[in-house]
């Protein structure tokens, strides 16, 4: 059996098109566009690259985009007052502080200072709590898990009543995706198990999964024989396992592998995400969706 490939790049393009239609309509009817500020402290190359992709995507959608670059020397109080400024700015609907921050700054303090109603990353304790409560309380879903849900829904895999096994319990992926899929809501209503480093028999749990979400960061952790025939396998892991020369640019690039052995797993699974090109492209897409959602809340049309 060869699994249906869940192509994150195609689903990303589909969603971005849908968002653009909504943005244009809101602009026409209300005369406003979503506003997103990305605060970058220092010059970490990986952070610059992430921020650049976010900015490019926001600009392509017609968002108001502010890139606020700050020196690595910035003091914690200065960063807090910058956040306060954007919290009070009605033209800004999403505030994003690129992590990691320099050691002298308390990341938690900074992230918690963001107005939860502008926390488009969905990591503020208020938004984590809203997700736990569910229903109408939910404002922003964290981006990578929200992207995973979209991938499953748009692949056509039935989530309602499915046995979902999530491998990994991080606050960024494992816990929130488990929470999202067990909601009493469309695209959810699953029976969810969360496995982690202290799980006694990981193979046993994986074998039961109709939908297996693996977010451990361990290349090849899930063995092909642990996959239930026909299951939907979402491989969130991004592991650098070496380097190669890019055919396109001639430059050195990382060889990336997921937490699942793709070549063997695709012969057993019913649906599977590739790495790269599966979950990866969804994170920024969901950030854009959250920022638009924030504007819609602001306008009272969400
Ligand atoms: P993390 O290190 O914070 O958490 C990993 C989790 O996996 C932990 O809860 C741990 O208990 C569990 N785990 C680790 N080894 C295990 C094992 N042998 N058996 C069972 N459980 C095990 O990582 P994270 O931030 O959740 O990220 C996980 C992976 O997803 C990483 O490879 C990361 O790069 C990737 N990721 C990708 C995206 C994206 O594509 N957009 C976003 C976030 C994370």
Query: What proportion of the chain, given as a percentage, has pLDDT over 90?
Result: 98
Rounded mean pLDDT, 95-112: 97
User: Which residue's CA is minimally distant from atom 8 of ligand 1?
Assistant: 168
* 168 in contact with ligand 1, CB cutoff 6 A: yes
Å from CA of 215 to ligand 1 middle: 4
Report how far apart, in Å, the C-alpha atoms of 138 and of each of 126, 131, 185, 187 are: 10, 5, 11, 14
Q: What DSSP assignment string belongs to 259-279?
A: SB-HHHHTTT-SEE--SSSSS
pLDDT of res. 39: 98
Å from CA of 216 to ligand 1 middle: 3
Q: Is the pLDDT of residue 1 over 70?
A: no
Ligand 1 atom closest to Cα of residue 239? 32
pLDDT of res. 97: 97
Pick the catalytic residue from 7, 118, 119, 121: 121
The first and second tokens of residue 157, run together, are: 């895999």
98 included as an active-site residue: yes
pLDDT of res. 112: 98
121 included as an active-site residue: yes
> CA 34 to CA 292: how far, in whole Å?
6
pLDDT of res. 228: 98
* 122 in contact with ligand 1, CB cutoff 6 A: no
Rounded mean pLDDT, 65-83: 97
pLDDT of res. 248: 87
Question: How confident is the model over 150-209, as pLDDT tens digits?
Answer: 999 999 999 999 999 999 999 999 999 999 999 999 999 999 999 999 999 999 999 999
For the chain, the average pLDDT equals 97
- Let me know the angle formed at the C-alpha of 67 by 62 and 73, rounded to the nearest 5 degrees: 170
**Token pair 């050691």 is at which residue?**
103
Å from CA of 86 to ligand 1 middle: 32
Å from CA of 170 to ligand 1 middle: 7
Report how far apart, in Å, the C-alpha atoms of 171 and of each of 174, 179, 197 are: 6, 11, 15
**Confidence bin at 116 (pLDDT 50/70/90):** very high
């Amino acid at each position: 059996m060869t699994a249906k490939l869940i192509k994150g790049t195609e689903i990303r393009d589909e969603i971005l098109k849908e968002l653009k239609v909504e943005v244009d309509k809101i602009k026409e009817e209300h005369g406003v566009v979503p506003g997103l500020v990305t605060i970058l402290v220092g010059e970490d190359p990986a952070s610059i690259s992430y921020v650049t992709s976010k900015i490019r995507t926001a600009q392509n959608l017609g968002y108001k985009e502010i890139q606020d670059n700050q020196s690595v020397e910035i003091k914690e109080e200065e960063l807090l007052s910058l956040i306060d400024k954007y919290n009070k700015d009605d033209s800004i609907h999403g505030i994003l502080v690129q992590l990691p921050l320099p050691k002298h700054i308390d990341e938690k303090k900074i992230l918690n200072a963001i107005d939860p109603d502008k926390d488009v990353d969905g990591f503020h304790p208020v938004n984590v709590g809203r997700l736990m409560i569910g229903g109408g309380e939910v404002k922003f879903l964290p981006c990578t898990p929200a992207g995973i849900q979209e991938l499953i829904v748009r692949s056509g895999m039935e989530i309602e009543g499915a046995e979902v096994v999530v491998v990994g319990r991080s606050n960024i992926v494992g816990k929130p995706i488990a929470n999202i899929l067990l909601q009493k809501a469309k695209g959810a209503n699953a029976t969810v198990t969360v496995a982690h480093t202290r799980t006694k028999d990981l193979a046993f749990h994986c074998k039961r999964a109709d939908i297996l979400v693996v977010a451990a960061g361990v290349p090849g952790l899930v063995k092909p024989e642990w996959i239930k025939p026909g299951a939907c396998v979402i491989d969130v892991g991004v592991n650098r396992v070496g380097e190669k020369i890019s055919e396109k640019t001639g430059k050195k690039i990382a060889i990336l592998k997921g937490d699942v052995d793709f070549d063997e797993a695709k012969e057993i699974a019913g649906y599977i995400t590739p790495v790269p090109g599966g979950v990866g492209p969804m994170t920024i897409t969901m950030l854009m969706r959250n920022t638009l959602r924030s504007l819609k809340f602001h306008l009272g049309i969400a």
